Amino acid sequence: MSVTLESLIDEVVQEAIAEYEVRLEEARKRIGQELERSREELLQELRRGLETVRREVDAERRRRISQVEAEARREYLDTLEELVRKAVTNAIERIKSTRDSELYREFLRSSLTEAIESLGSEEVVVETCEEDLKAVKSVASELAKEKGVKVKVSSKTIDVIGGVRVSRADGSMIYDATIDYRLSRLSDQLRTIVVRHLTSSNR
């Protein structure tokens, strides 16, 4: 069989086409692999970016929650203190309004009695405010006879709302029965009452 120029050219062309198709397929595979790798890289980058964004969002959310909680606590404490101050102020005003009553005189008498019995001394010194001085002298005179103790009322007054501050004659022990001291001791109880009221009101 003779080989013609046409058949030789055809053979060469077919081989070239076959080689081209192989290379084309290889190129397609390579490009596909590159695209898949690029896609995975992009997805990973996106995931990292989303994770970073999520962490930043979570951090900001926690920061804002903490800020709101802190503001709420501050407002709550401010409200609590305001209510306690109002309660104390009202108590003081009521005490002052009853100063000339028999009820207030009985309060002074019970306060002084409590102090004398607690100190357990044969001689005590009583201090009070200017407003209560007259009533305290009267009560002290009565109790001195009843208790068989010497009760000296100091003419030097102290700056308190009311009540008495009693000490042993030698100054070794003091019993504070002033309204001021009683109110300071009641502050925590007042806060507890207010907190309970606020809690029940929010239910």
Q: Provide the CATH number for the domain formed by 100-187 in this structure.
A: 3.30.2320.30
Residue with tokens 């692999």: 33
Report yes or no: 126 and 112 within 8 Å, Cβ to Cβ: yes
Residue 176 has what pLDDT? 94
pLDDT digits (tens, 9 = 90+) for 59-116: 877 887 778 777 777 777 777 777 777 777 887 788 888 888 898 899 999 999 999 9
Which of helix, strand or coil describes residue 162? coil
Reported in sequence order, the residue ranges of the chain that DSSP labels E, i.e. its strands, are 123-128, 150-153, 163-168, 174-178
Separation between Cα atoms, residue 156 and residue 153, nearest integer Å: 9
Q: What is the identity of the amino acid at 199?
A: T
What pLDDT band is residue 1 in, cutting at 50, 70 and 90?
Answer: very low
pLDDT of residue 96: 80
Question: Ranked by mean pLDDT, which of 8-12, 76-80, 101-105, 196-200 comes out on top?
Answer: 101-105
pTM over 0.75: no
Q: What is the DSSP string of 80-98?
A: HHHHHHHHHHHHHHHHHHT
For residue range 139-192, list pLDDT tens digits in order: 999 999 998 999 999 999 999 999 999 999 998 899 999 988 888 877 777 777
Residue 24: pLDDT band (50, 70, 90) is low
